[in-house]
Amino acid sequence: MTALFLKSSLGALAVLIIALLSRTPHFYIAGLVPLFPTFALIAHFIVGQEKGMEALRETAQFGLFSLLPYAAYLMAAYLLSYRFNLYSTLLLATVVWVISAAVLLYFWTR
């Protein structure tokens, strides 16, 4: 139970840092915080501990490929922001991420 609390506390801390940074003159740094490997560290630790180093390597490799849907999301958010309001932009960019992630999973599992 303590481990679960610590893991959720890391997520809450990340959200707090993002909120605080978004109010500064250097608001763009808030976009870097989600890329800190907080959740990757947790996932890699659990996978490595429960499944071993081979599974850790495969998880890390998949993580590299998972940057593609994230890049698609960022590109969509950037480009769509010229034509749509905030909510539509983020919704459509999220749809792009979901489609990209589905394509990645389709090819990864083949």
> 75-96 pLDDT, tens per residue?
999 999 999 999 999 999 999 9
pLDDT tens digits for range 26-70: 999 988 888 888 788 889 999 999 999 999 999 999 999 999 999
| Model pTM score | 0.79
Tell me the backbone φ, ψ of residue 66, rounded to 5 degrees: -70, -10
The single-letter DSSP state of residue 43 is: H
Average confidence (pLDDT) over 88-108:
97
Give domain limits for the chain: 1-64, 66-110
Inter-CA distances, 77 with 43, 44, 53, 81, Å: 27, 29, 36, 6
